[in-house]
Amino acid sequence: MAHLVRNAADHGIETASEREAAGKSPHGTIRLNAYHDGDQVVIEVSDDGRGLDRAKIVRRAIERGLLSAAEAAQLNELEGLQLIFAPGLSTADEVTEISGRGVGLDVVKSSLEALKGTVELASAPGRGTTFRLLVPLTLASIRALLFRVHGRLYAVPLASVAEITRITEQGIHRIDDHEVFQLREQVLTLVRLDRLGPHAVGERAARLFVIVIGTGGRKFGLAVDSLMGEEELVIKALEDQLVSSPIVSGASILGDGTVVLILNVPAVVSHLSRIPAVGATA
């Protein structure tokens, strides 16, 4: 958070004269906000400054050899902004007492990943920038829905479950390289854990249970083999050497000793960043 606040003060907030010329108050504002969302703690650091300069970020990344000009041309708007998390990348033209040393946002990202968390970025030119740090709760009790995929027991926070439905394999279609299905008047992306985690793709049933997950304004369907009901779970953090998959944020142990892996919903959503999550009207 210290890195984010420093960057907001040094890079984000304009000078008083620049702000007045843009029709803003001469005093900039940096806001800190924290709240609970499902099985995540969300911390927001936002400013009402100039916003990130995507062209400058991409240019610096090319200069440092992080990617070629041809590769940069293929990046969408968000992918270009996310280069700011690359190690050693800085857009500061000079070193100041506050920032510009080329150390900062890469540390933020690596720190969040070490906690099985994620960092999201939103920026608008002339309006400001917001960083959202999503950190999984540990040693906390949540109400969860349990399900099995290829014999493994998983759980997802009940607060993230919009509904449960069943579909047939014939009801699954492909758009580009992604599977989708129709739910009433919406077309949703279908996610199979065997394609995100370290599972072998097994034989598929004719009819699938689909858990419709809604989080952060996004919605998608999670294909599962069977539903095991609801349970009150105590989340426990796992060491990196025990669980290498980013889609697992923690675990819990049932009364009979069975280990339940807690699904990291934001990590699943991050795999869908290029896909319209709610879909289109049918």
Question: Confidence band (pLDDT; 50, 70, 90) for 281?
Answer: very low
As given in the structure block, the two tokens for residue 270 are: 């991050």
Which of 70-79, 124-133, 236-245 is the most confident on average?
124-133
As a whole number, the mean pLDDT across the chain is: 81
Section 55-79 average pLDDT: 87
Report the pLDDT value the prediction gives residue 245, as an integer from 0 to 100. Answer: 67
* pLDDT beyond 80 at 216: no
Q: What pLDDT is attached to residue 184?
A: 87
55-64, 194-203, 210-219, 233-242: least confidently modelled range: 194-203
The whole-model pTM stands at: 0.54
Q: Give the pair of three-digit tokens for residue 120.
A: 């999201």
The C-alpha atoms of residue 248 and residue 114 are separated, in whole angstroms, by 12
Share of the chain above pLDDT 90, in %: 25
Core vs surface per residue 203-237: b (16+ CB within 10 A) or e:
eeeeebbbbbbbbbebbbbbbbbeebeebebebeb
In the chain, where does the domain assigned CATH 3.30.565.10 lie?
2-136
For residue 282, pLDDT beyond 60: no
Over 70: is that where the pLDDT of 12 sits? yes
CB within 8 A of 203, min separation 6: which ones?
A: none
Grade residue 200 by pLDDT with cuts at 50, 70 and 90: very low
What local confidence, expressed as pLDDT, does residue 227 receive? 93
Which residues belong to CATH 2.40.50.180 in the chain?
141-270
Per-residue CA distances from 219 to 158, 207, 269, 277 (Å): 14, 21, 9, 5
Three-class DSSP category at 220: strand
Q: In CATH, which of 3.40.50.300, 3.30.565.10, 3.30.1050.10, 3.40.50.11540 is domain 2-136?
A: 3.30.565.10
- The mean pLDDT value for 36-55 works out to 87
Say whether domain 141-270 belongs to CATH 2.40.50.180: yes
In the DSSP assignment, the letter for residue 26 is: S
135-189: pLDDT as tens digits: 876 656 788 999 998 888 999 988 889 999 999 888 888 887 788 898 888 888 8
Supply 92's token pair. 């500061």
Residue 241 has pLDDT above 60, yes or no: no
